[in-house]
Amino acid sequence: MTSEIIDREARNIFNLAAISLPPPHAVNDLLSIGVCVRCIFRSFGAHGSVYSCSSLTAPMLLSFLREEKGFHSDSSENGIDFDNDDSYCCVCLGILQLASDSDREMGKCEEKASVGGFVERVGEVIRRENHQIDGFSLEISIPPVIAANERALRLYLKKKYDCEEWFKDKFPSEQITVKDALRLLITSALEKHLDAKSGANEFRIRFMYTHSESSAKLQCLLANGHGCKRRKIEATVGIVVDLNGRTRKDSNAVCSESDAAILRALSSLQDHMFIEQFMLPPQKVSKPCQLTTTCHRMPIYIGGRYLKLSRKVSQSRWIIDDERMGEASVEEIIGDNALAICKGDSYKFHAAGREDIDVRMLGSGRPFLVEVLNARCMPSTVDVQQVADTINNSPERYVTVRNLKVLGSEIWTLMREGEAEKQKQYSALVWTSRPLTEEDLDHISSIENMEILQRTPIRVLHRRSPLERKRIIHWMRVEKIAGSCQYFLLHLCAQAGTYIKEFVHGDLGRTHPSIGFILGCRAEILQLDVTDVKMDFFD
């Protein structure tokens, strides 16, 4: 493109943004030291549509200055060679030029690219992962060396132009970030290419920019800083100094790769210390940042209530020494089917409490959530019903589900809060060492809101902390079994977290009082069923 030709879009945008530009000689200076056009506008506080102009280039900016400002300069004399420019912006390291050095995800070597080419390759990543999307949000990670470059440029401009009248008016205290400028540049094109609106948090496209060479130099410079803060900075950026004074990177240092730690170290340097360590202006780079593009969907929650109809099925997958305990698990029966319909990477199973493998879950069922990670498909109501039908019509009938539906992420918090407050009802088959009288049965049924103290049961001491817990038995009812005076069904409602088996037999005195203590005899629990879990928002 010749200096006489500027497209209409760029001309309009330049006119709107020109008020923020410094005098032409300063613009020319910035171009000559290797600052890209978008970083020039950022440095002088421009906002808005100037960053979304896909055809924003240095030749166009100079053409604008010639036509509108009467500026004349031989760019080759000032170190600007647009026809043979193998360097990248010394501030953003090529990010706002849409340049990247061998994108590892896409397997391509990239030069300064067009917006169309950039978004096309983003689309390739999404298509390769087979994601179905109707909206997206952008996550952008940039190397902390860019913050050092921005600071070095500000100090350079201040040192060189502070005495000129225009400087204080044109040089802002804040500027738009590289991340926000990149969003303005590519978002509209991405929306059009993907046929999806931005702003939805469920599906996220992540751009991770790194620049190993510049980042390594930055860490060494920080570690070699002067004064009493040196040891602190060395520890922060993962640099160690050997006995001979040589620095090396410690791969085992806790914060060696922490961008946040490096930024804190940078901010701790006063300007005079920064100037001693860093070159002003920042140096041009011959390689742009390396870009890794990934995408993922935030977790999808499918929830409802489950009934466990077998005493040989555990709640979660239970493997000991490569041997499965029980015939199946609730987690796998529900989770595997949910994962298949969502085409996710994996899943996590969450339930409001748990029952032992030999305890059935009956009645209304236990509330649960399946958290599907990075789902490729958003399940429809029909899809969810298909999952429920598959589980409920299984020949084994180990587990059935009720009220299965896709739920919002807030349900996780509600379940965790409700779990601590809920009441649970049980039915237990109990044997006693002596025949029971009507008086015994009436006494048990008359007890309400009885407080018990439970030490961690012996059977779970190997995996639970040894604690004492106060729990409430809200009510109990006794159901006689015909033809027997030593067997009965005990129906009870207890506070969440009560160990029911131990409440019956006492656990060698570790639960007090217990049914055995109340009756003054030995009591054993033969079978246990959970018959209700109170949690209304899962109904």
Show which residues are catalytic. Answer: 356
CA neighbours closer than 13 Å in the CB half-sphere of residue 25: 5
The answer to whether 449 and 470 have CB atoms below 8 angstroms apart is: no
CA of 88: how far to CAs of 10, 28, 36, 171, 306, in Å? Answer: 21, 16, 8, 23, 58
Element (H, E) at 419: helix 410-421
The answer to whether 313 and 261 have CB atoms below 8 angstroms apart is: no
What is the separation of C-alpha 280 from the centre of its chain, rounded to a whole number of angstroms?
A: 37
CB neighbourhood size of 443 (10 A): 15
User: What is the sign of the dihedral through the CA atoms of 202, 205, 207 and 208?
Assistant: positive
End-to-end distance of the chain based on CA atoms, in angstroms? 67
Three-class SS of residue 33? Answer: coil
Q: Which two tokens stand for residue 398?
A: 């180990």
CB neighbourhood size of 418 (10 A): 19
Question: Which class for 231: exposed (0-12), middle (13-18), buried (19 or more C-beta within 10 A)?
Answer: exposed
The answer to whether 7 and 64 have CB atoms below 8 angstroms apart is: no
> DSSP labels for 376-410?
SS---HHHHHHHHHHHHT-TT--EEEEEEEEE-TH
- Residue 284: name the closest of 101, 90, 152 by CA: 90
Helix axes 145-161, 24-32, angle to 10 degrees: 140
* Distance (Å, whole) CA 6 – CA 8: 6
Listed in sequence order, the residues at least 6 apart from 107 whose beta carbon sits closer than 8 Å to its beta carbon are: none
The answer to whether 507 and 445 have CB atoms below 8 angstroms apart is: no
DSSP H helix total and E strand total for the chain = 18, 20
User: What is the sign of the dihedral through the CA atoms of 462, 467, 468 and 469?
Assistant: negative
Three-class SS of residue 362? Answer: strand
Listed in sequence order, the residues at least 6 apart from 18 whose beta carbon sits closer than 8 Å to its beta carbon are: 64, 68
Task: Give me the amino acid identity at 12.
Answer: N
CA of 80: how far to CAs of 73, 74, 94, 110, in Å? Answer: 11, 9, 16, 22
Q: Which two tokens stand for residue 221?
A: 């410079």
